[in-house]
């Protein structure tokens, strides 16, 4: 487990050292705000223009990571998609998600916060409210109870900005999903 976490920090350090803004979302973020559980990957949202895609190619050489070819990275940036980085030595898979240009995505990225994570190291995380919103969207897509359980864990452990959360739940039409929490 320690090898996975160290590899994760190495990736985040490379992003920070090269001025690539990021935030951790998904299950890893929900564990910081809520309750721990097993997860198979780590989700990281980055903000990067397509003309800087070559940075990623050079940061994650094929000797250390599986990183898709430059053309794929550029296409995913343009289409606001995602791709994987895989470190064969540790087995770590990181989903690199390109920051969307939607109103909520821009707001979410602007609200990210630097938080203590592990052994005194700090990382940028989505806010707990935005992690909840993301989990509601994942639940809408696949109906997996783990997302509702993650939300319940966050609500039990972390103070939430109720007004912000209610506003985005309504704007994003997540009321029926929210009612299940």
- Please check the confidence at residue 1 and state whether its pLDDT lies above 60: no
pLDDT at 160: 97
Report pLDDT for 138: 94
pLDDT of residue 2: 61
Q: Which residue in the block uniquely carries the two structure tokens 């299950």?
A: 27
Give me the domain span that covers residue 33: 2-179
Question: 9: burial class by Cβ within 10 Å (0-12, 13-18, 19+)?
Answer: middle
Percent of the chain beyond pLDDT 90?
73
- The predicted structure's pLDDT at residue 127: 98
- Report pLDDT for 37: 79
Per residue in 85-141, pLDDT (tens digit) is 999 988 889 999 999 999 999 999 999 999 988 778 899 999 999 999 999 999 999
> The domain that contains 80 carries what CATH number?
3.30.460.40
Look up residue 134 and give its two tokens.
Answer: 């993301």
pTM across the whole model: 0.92
d(CA 155, CA 150): 9
Q: Mean per-residue pLDDT for 153-180?
A: 97
Specify the number of domains making up the chain. 1
The whole-angstrom separation of Cα 23 and Cα 110 is: 10
Tens of pLDDT, residues 59-96: 998 888 999 999 999 999 999 999 999 999 888 899 99
Backbone φ and ψ of 159, nearest 5°: -70, 135
Tell me the pLDDT tens digit for each residue of 7-61.
888 899 999 999 999 999 999 999 999 988 777 689 999 999 888 888 888 899 8
Vertex 128, ends 78 and 41: CA angle to 5°? 55
Sequence-ordered list of residues with C-beta below 8 angstroms from that of 143, at least 6 positions apart, any chain: none
pLDDT of residue 9: 87
As a whole number of angstroms, the distance between CA 77 and CA 28 comes to 23
Other Cβ atoms within 10 Å of 106 Cβ, number: 13
């Amino acid at each position: 487990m320690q090898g996975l976490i160290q590899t994760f920090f190495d990736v985040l350090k490379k992003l920070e050292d090269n001025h690539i803004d990021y935030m951790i979302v998904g299950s890893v973020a929900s564990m910081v705000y809520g309750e721990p559980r097993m997860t198979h990957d780590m989700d990281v949202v980055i903000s990067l223009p397509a003309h800087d895609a070559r940075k990623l190619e050079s940061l994650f050489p094929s000797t250390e990571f599986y990183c898709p070819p430059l053309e794929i990275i550029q296409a995913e940036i343009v289409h606001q998609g995602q791709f994987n980085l895989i470190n064969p030595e540790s087995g770590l898979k990181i989903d690199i998600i390109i920051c969307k240009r939607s109103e909520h995505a821009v707001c979410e990225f602007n609200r990210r916060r630097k938080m203590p994570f592990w052994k005194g190291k700090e990382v940028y995380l989505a806010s707990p409210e935005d992690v909840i919103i993301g989990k509601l969207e994942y639940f809408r897509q696949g109906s997996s109870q783990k997302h509702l359980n993650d939300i319940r864990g966050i609500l039990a452990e972390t103070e939430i900005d109720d007004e912000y959360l209610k506003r985005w739940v309504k704007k994003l039409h997540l009321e029926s999903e929210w009612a299940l929490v």
